[in-house]
Amino acid sequence: MADEQDRDTLQHSTPADAAPPPADASFTPAEPLKNAGVDFTPEDTGATGNGSGTGSTLADAKQSARDYVAKGREQAADKARGFAEDGKAKATDALTQLSQMLTDAAGQVDEKLGGQYGQYARSAADRVQGFSSAIDQKSVEDLLDDARELVRKSPEVAVGLAAGVGFVLARLIGAAVDQRDA
């Protein structure tokens, strides 16, 4: 019903509607908006109180933005430090547990393979415990500085360590997913 009404009110175009304008028709462009009598300069509202107007308002806005950015950076750095401290604590706990497991296993290695191999297990446990203690005693910033220094001195060792850690993490995650699926 609405379609019929639209068709009834629709005015059909004629060939004259589509014809180009006569050759003698002249075209005059409109005046540019910048000359249309509109003043785009903001008025001094006196909100700043120092009479300098827009310049100080803009400077205040820029300073406010800088303050917000600085505050955000500070909050992000604090959160990152907190996460790093938590990670450091978890890593030292894990290393201490690994050291204890190696120490416990040394007795069984003594019985099954001999005292020499048990001593290897004890030595490994002592080294892991020493590494755990060293990490626990240093601050996060000191650990980051040590890591940067290692990368500067021997980047190939750093890449190798990163690859090894990635491999171990991939294996651990894969094992965890397999256990969850089982």
Amino acid identity, position 178: D
**Confidence at residue 31, expressed as pLDDT on a 0 to 100 scale:** 65
**Confidence at residue 139, expressed as pLDDT on a 0 to 100 scale:** 86
Residue whose entry in the numeric block shows the structure tokens 């938590």:
86
* Token digits of residue 66: 């800088």
Amino acid identity, position 8: D
**Confidence at residue 48, expressed as pLDDT on a 0 to 100 scale:** 46
**Confidence at residue 49, expressed as pLDDT on a 0 to 100 scale:** 46
* Token digits of residue 181: 């699926």
- Among residues 70, 92, 88, the alpha carbon closest in space to that of 80 is found at 88
Contact criterion met (CB below 8 Å) for 135 and 142: no
**Confidence at residue 33, expressed as pLDDT on a 0 to 100 scale:** 60
Tens place of pLDDT per residue across the chain (182 aa)? 555 555 555 566 666 666 666 666 676 766 666 655 656 566 555 444 444 456 678 888 888 899 999 898 888 888 888 888 888 888 888 888 888 888 888 888 888 887 787 788 888 888 888 888 888 888 888 888 888 888 899 888 888 888 888 888 888 888 878 777 76
DSSP state of 31: P
**Confidence at residue 8, expressed as pLDDT on a 0 to 100 scale:** 56
- The residue extents of the domains of the chain are 62-110, 139-181
**Confidence at residue 20, expressed as pLDDT on a 0 to 100 scale:** 67
3-state secondary structure of 170: helix
Report pLDDT digits (tens) over 121-171: 888 888 888 888 888 888 888 888 888 888 899 888 888 888 888 888 888
